[in-house]
Amino acid sequence: MKRLCMGLLMVLVCNASFAQTKLFTKTGSITFFSKTNVENITAKNNKVLSIWEPASGKIEFSVLMKGFEFEKALMQEHFNENYVESDKYPKAIFKGTVENSNSISLTINKNNTVNVSGALTMHGITNQINIPATITINNALVSASASFEVLLADYKIKIPSLVADNINKKIKISINIPLYKSL
């Protein structure tokens, strides 16, 4: 009986400890930016889901394409209708790993520079990417940021020749997670 109790306790402890090691947010932001001589286009989404498991290093992002807000409504419509085809491919998803994740102390104040590698799925196409990122620990609060570039052609997003001068073929993407909360 004692052992059974211990066993039960172990289950609880196990679950609790595994549960504690996941950090989660619903309010991450992704901004993308296209710069050309003709015009600069920028859009932002403030409802990015992300989860990070420091022990294993696993990290995931999920974002609804329709949640990107542009300054010009027409651009937003074209983005959804013509470029990323949000009806067909509603989400962009990243599944990857933070390298040497378990060496990051969640209690020591520090800007940890890390490498994140994994699979980015967008517009129905998956590509392996490897990007530098920063995980900041400040008074036991965890935040993160990264920026990288994607080639539209890699995701089969076609720019018609008529607007080829208005949209950069390389889009700069900035990710900012203001606060990861333990799940």
Partner 1 sequence: MKKNLLLILFAVCIYTAHAQDGSLLSGLEDSTVTEKVTGAFKSTRVINAHSTEMLAKGNLDFRILHRFGFVSDGAKTFFGLDAATMRLAFDYGISNNVMIGIGRSTFRKEIDFFAKARILQQATGAKPMPFSLLVAGGYTIYTGENSVLTKPTLTDRSAYYIQTIIGRKFNSKFSLQLSPIFVHTNTPFNLTDDQSIFALGGGMRYKVSKRVALTLDYHHPFGELADNSTDPLSLGVDIETGGHVFQVHFSNATGMNERAYITQTTGNFFKGDMRLGFNLSRMFKIGKRR
Sites of contact with partner 1 (CB under 8 A)? 3-4, 6-8, 10-11, 14-15, 18, 22, 24, 26, 47, 49, 51, 53, 58, 60, 62, 64, 66, 69, 71-74, 77-78, 80-82, 85, 87-88, 90, 95, 160, 162-163, 166, 183
Nearest-approach distance from CB 42 to partner 1, in angstroms: 12
CB of 115 to partner 1, least distance (A): 19
Torsion region of 152: left, alpha or beta (phi above 0 gives left; psi -120 to 50 gives alpha): alpha
Nearer to partner 1, 110 or 119 (CB): 119
- Least Cα distance to 114 among 91, 96, 94, 131 occurs for 131
Distance of closest approach, residue 119 Cβ to partner 1, in angstroms: 12
Least distance from partner 1 to the Cβ atom of residue 52, Å = 8
| Residue whose CB is less far from partner 1, 6 or 179 | 6
> What is the rounded distance in angstroms from the CA atom of residue 149 to the CA atom of residue 33?
9
Q: Whose Cβ is closer to partner 1: residue 26's or residue 110's?
A: 26
- Closer Cβ to partner 1, 74 or 108, answer by number: 74
Sign of CA dihedral 124, 51, 76, 170: negative
DSSP strand pairing (58-64 vs 91-98): antiparallel
Q: Which is nearer to partner 1, 139 or 160 (CB)?
A: 160
Residues forming a β-bridge with 94: 61, 120
CB of 76 to partner 1, least distance (A): 8
Place of tokens 């036991």: 140
Residue type, 125: I
Please, which residue, 110 or 181, has the CB nearer to partner 1?
181
Q: What is the DSSP string of 39-61?
A: -EEEEEEEEEEEEEETTTTEEEE
With residue 6 as reference, give the H or E element that holds it: helix 2-20
Q: For the CB of residue 100, give the shortest distance to partner 1 in the complex, in Å.
A: 19
